[in-house]
Structure 1
Amino acid sequence: MLHTSDLHGERDAFERLVDEALAADGQPPFSDQSIVEARAGQRDYLTAVDDDGALTGAAIARAADPAEFELVIAPFYRGAGRGRRALQSLLERYDDEVLTWAHGDHPAAARLAASTHLTRIRTLYQLRRPLDDALPDVVAFDRFDPARDADEWVALNARVFADHPEQGRITRSDLDARMAEPWFRSDDLLVARSAMGELVGYNWLKIEGDVGEIYVLGIDAQAAGMGLGRKLTAAGLAHMQSRGCRTAALYVDDENERAVRLYRSMGFTDYTTDVQYRRDVRS
């Protein structure tokens, strides 16, 4: 059974669980958005412990709009039915639509989803490419200035991702929370401007160690179709190289066919897959 927690006294155990899941599964169990919103008090931490007090599982959950959670069982405790019991306890917390992500399209997660009547509704690819080649004809772009650009960036991002269930919801306070993350550097956010100086595109990079991620790339509709996305992508790859990255990564929805074609044409290939499931109403 999972219980709401403020992680008091469990922070180190929680972080170890996340690291162990990352090592076992090849990717983190929780999205950046979930972590940021949980730290801001917008989502709940839930934990499960055994009779000896050991942390056996954890979740990060949002109660409404709609209800959503991500769940992980510590690798040592898998295969004994704990995942099913934890998933059932989470689903029982909510009456209506529920969303959940499975990071990595693992067969065990798919079987667990099917056993609880969750429907697969969305597929998110992680693509990667090595950064061991020269990048010709890279265009130079301006760098993000928080004092000057923050509000304009939020407005541009909302326009670009108006139909996106997560990215389009970002507010100024959400941006401020992300800028407070230890990995954030303003010079890792490349911005494109119109002739009038307005923001029309950006490539936000998240660089940790030797892997650089295109965290989010957006192009305003007025600038679409002119190759700006390709130029910003190439500039981002060159910037990663200058920061010592050996690999570039990104996430893209499988339904965004135009973006998938662009990234594949620039050398990105499949690395792993995330799947979102939905329970429409309580049966």
Structure 2
Amino acid sequence: MRAEIRDDNNTLVLLEADPASAADDDYASEHGLVCCREILQLRRPLPLSDRTDLDVRPFTGSDTDAFLEVNNRAFAWHPDRSHWTVDDLHGRMAEPWFDPNGFLVHETDGRLDGFCWTKVHEAIGDEPRLGEIYVIAVHPDSHGHGLGRALTMAGLQLLSDEGITVGMLHVESSNVAAVSMYERMGFHVHGVHRWWATEGTPPPVTSHL
């Protein structure tokens, strides 16, 4: 996918490419554009070599308010995932791919402090069946205890137990801590979704996530 936006003077003001290539970088640079957002698609083979015993359960409707609190605090900085409402949540749960058993939450002393929402992509053409970590977050008050890694493992275990052999996720390249954690877990970059714009342009919002 490649898309351009030009102003009334036919000047290129935004370029989007997925997957992005070196040629796209050169083209953007020639038009005075700089990278303003970059999403990495990471993949790794399944199953994992070890398992987690983290206590998780499927999301229920009574978790809605707690989920939104964790999501909106964890992603306060994010162009797409901040300020989610009940309608945002219900809209995604109404998608044909939604599986309630793949939406895992973790509680500590009765408080929801993390979740891992998975999504299955059926095989298409040369692409294998993929198990995606669709959205994952930890309550900011629970950072620093390895919960993000454990939740990722729990989601990948669930996908692997369903017979899926390739795990996948998307992460902002600017989220250095998350990228580093995923790399330590054996993920590698499979593709890059990139936007270029004039200097100072805010990161564009995408419906991709």
**Aligned equivalent of 1:141, options 56, 59, 70:** 56
**Aligned equivalent of 2:96, options 174, 182, 203:** 182
Contact kept, 8 Å, 2:74 with 2:138, in 1: the verdict is yes
For residue 167 of structure 1, give the secondary structure of its aligned residue in structure 2.
Answer: coil
Larger RCO, structures 1/2 (Cα 8 Å, 6+ apart): 2
Kindly state the Cα deviation for residue 133 of structure 1 after the two structures are TM-superposed.
4.3
Inter-CA distance 99–162: structure 2 relative to 1 (3 Å threshold): farther
Kindly state the Cα deviation for residue 245 of structure 1 after the two structures are TM-superposed.
0.9
**C-alpha distance in 1 between matches for 2:26 and 2:104:** 41
**C-alpha distance in 1 between matches for 2:53 and 2:189:** 24
**C-alpha distance in 2 between matches for 1:254 and 1:235:** 23
Kindly state the Cα deviation for residue 132 of structure 1 after the two structures are TM-superposed.
3.8
TM-score by length of 2: 0.82
Q: Which amino acid aligns with 1:176?
A: H
Contact kept, 8 Å, 2:15 with 2:28, in 1: the verdict is no
Residue range with higher mean Cα deviation, 263-272 or 147-156: 147-156
Name stretches of at least 5 consecutive residues in structure 2 with no aligned partner.
123-128, 201-209
For residue 173 of structure 1, give the secondary structure of its aligned residue in structure 2.
Answer: helix
Kindly state the Cα deviation for residue 243 of structure 1 after the two structures are TM-superposed.
1.6
Instruction: Determine which structure has the larger helix proportion and give its number.
Output: 1
Inter-CA distance 220–93: structure 2 relative to 1 (3 Å threshold): farther
Structure 1 equivalent of residue 25 of structure 2: 110
**C-alpha distance in 2 between matches for 1:170 and 1:220:** 15
Match runs of 1:1-283 below 5 Å: 29=1, 71=3, 87=4, 90-92=5-7, 101-145=16-60, 147-195=61-109, 197-209=110-122, 210-279=129-198
Q: Which amino acid aligns with 1:198?
A: R
Aligned alpha-carbon RMSD (Å)? 2.3
Offset from partner CA, 1:148-172 (integer Å, 9 cap, x none): 1223212221111111111113222
Kindly state the Cα deviation for residue 91 of structure 1 after the two structures are TM-superposed.
2.1
**C-alpha distance in 2 between matches for 1:101 and 1:151:** 34
Identical counterparts, % of pairs = 34
**C-alpha distance in 2 between matches for 1:216 and 1:255:** 17
Inter-CA distance 102–131: structure 2 relative to 1 (3 Å threshold): same
Contact kept, 8 Å, 2:118 with 2:135, in 1: the verdict is yes
Q: Which amino acid aligns with 1:124?
A: I
Runs of 4+ in 1 over 4 A off after TM superposition: none
Kindly state the Cα deviation for residue 122 of structure 1 after the two structures are TM-superposed.
2.6
Kindly state the Cα deviation for residue 255 of structure 1 after the two structures are TM-superposed.
2.1
Name stretches of at least 5 consecutive residues in structure 1 with no aligned partner.
1-28, 30-69, 72-86
Kindly state the Cα deviation for residue 136 of structure 1 after the two structures are TM-superposed.
2.8
TM-score by length of 1: 0.62
Structure 1 equivalent of residue 204 of structure 2: none
Contact kept, 8 Å, 2:34 with 2:196, in 1: the verdict is yes
Aligned residues: 192
